[in-house]
Amino acid sequence: MTIQAVETQDKTIVAGLGEIKVSKDPSVVLTCLGLGSCVAVCAYDPVAKVGGMAHVVLPSSEGRAVKPSAKYADMAIPMLIAETQRHGALKTRLVVKLAGGAELSKAAGMDNAFKIGEKNQAAVKEVLSKENIKVAAEELGGNKGRTARMFVASGRVSVASAGSETKEL
Amino acid sequence: MVEQGIEMTEVEQLAWAGLVSKGIGNSISGLSQMVGQDIKATSLNPRVVAIKDIPDLIGGAEALTVGVYLKVTGDASGHMVLVYKPQAAYELLDMLLGLTPGTTHEINEMGESALGEMGNIMGSFFLNSLADSTGMVFMPSPPAVMMDMAGAILNVALAEIMMETDDACIVEAMFGTADRQVNGTFLVMPSLELLDALRERWRMQ
Q: Is the pLDDT of residue A4 over 70?
A: no
Least CB-CB distance to B159: which of A58, A107, A145?
Answer: A58
How many CA within 13 A on the CB side of residue B85?
13
- Cβ within 8 Å, pair B151-A33: yes
Q: What is the tens place of the pLDDT at every residue in B132-169?
A: 999 999 999 999 999 999 999 999 889 988 988 888 88
Q: What is the tens place of the pLDDT at every residue in A95-131?
A: 999 999 998 876 545 555 568 999 999 999 999 999 9
Task: Tell me what pLDDT residue B153 has.
Answer: 93
- Between B45 and B55, the higher pLDDT residue: B55
Cα-based distances in Å from B83 to A101, B156, B163, B181: 22, 15, 23, 14
d(CA B92, CA A51): 44
Query: What's the mean per-residue pLDDT of chain A?
Result: 90
**Residues on chain B touching A12 (C-beta within 8 angstroms):** none
Q: What percent of chain A has pLDDT over 70?
A: 89
Nearest CA in chain A to B78: A109
Task: Tell me what pLDDT residue B45 has.
Answer: 84
Q: Is A38 annotated as catalytic? A: yes
What string of DSSP letters covers A17-69? TT-EEEE--TTEEEEEEEESS-EEEEEEETTTTEEEEEEE-BS--TTT-SS--
Nearest CA in chain A to B160: A58
Confidence band, pLDDT 50/70/90 cuts, at residue A2: very low
Least CB-CB distance to A57: which of B69, B144, B159?
Answer: B159
Given A20, A30, A38, A76, which residue is catalytic? A38
**Cα distance between the two ends of chain A:** 19
- Cβ within 8 Å, pair A37-B155: yes
Confidence band, pLDDT 50/70/90 cuts, at residue A68: confident
ipTM: 0.86
Q: Is the pLDDT of residue B2 over 70?
A: no
Nearest CA in chain B to A147: B62
- Cβ within 8 Å, pair B149-A145: yes
